[in-house]
Each structure stands twice: as structure tokens, then as C-alpha cells.
Amino acid sequence: MIALSGVMTFDDHDKFRGVVQDIAESDASQVELSLSDLKMIDSAGIGMVLLANDRSRKSGKAFEISGVSGHVVKVFELSKIDKLIPIV
């Protein structure tokens, strides 16, 4: 499981690149991205989540998101990300 907290914006893309690399190199068959402590996400953050999903799937891993609440729920609803990635 990968847990994110605080805010996720364009400023986080360098750090998140390491997360995406860890996903690709992991032996796990499933990746869970926990957002229970994430307070805000912008469009660049959505792009990073989609990139993590893409990298997971290309590596043969299932990808899901958990703990979505507050502002993040609204952004996910507007972007229809729940149509692309399972949210548990």
C-alpha cells in the first residue's frame, strides 16, 4: 500500500516519480493507493494518479484507490476517475 497525505499538486511530480518507479519494480500483484490523509489534489495530481495506474497495469499489477474523502471525492467525481480506476 502507498499512502499519500497533505496536498498533491504539480510541485509533487518529482517525488511522485519515485513512487511510480517503486510500483514498477515491486513484486506485489496489486497496488493500493491510500488517500485517506490527502486533503487536496489538483489536475496535475490526477495526472500522477493516472500515471501510477498506467504503470501498474503495464507491470501486470491491479491498481485501486482507497480512503477518498472530502475535496478529493469532489475532484474525482468531476474528473470521472472512478470510471477508470476502482475506488474501494
Q: Would 51 be classed as within a structural domain?
A: yes
- CATH code: domain of residue 34: 3.30.750.24
**pTM across the whole model:** 0.89
User: pLDDT, tens digit, for every residue of 57-83?
Assistant: 999 999 999 999 999 999 999 999 989
User: pLDDT, tens digit, for every residue of 4-56?
Assistant: 999 999 999 899 999 899 888 889 999 999 999 999 999 999 999 999 999 99
Give the total number of structural domains in the chain: 1
SS3 for the chain, per residue? CEEEEEEECHHHHHHHHHHHHHHHHCCCCEEEEEEEEEEEECHHHHHHHHHHHHHHHHCCCEEEEECCCHHHHHHHHHHCHHHCCCEC
Print the domain residue range for 20: 2-83
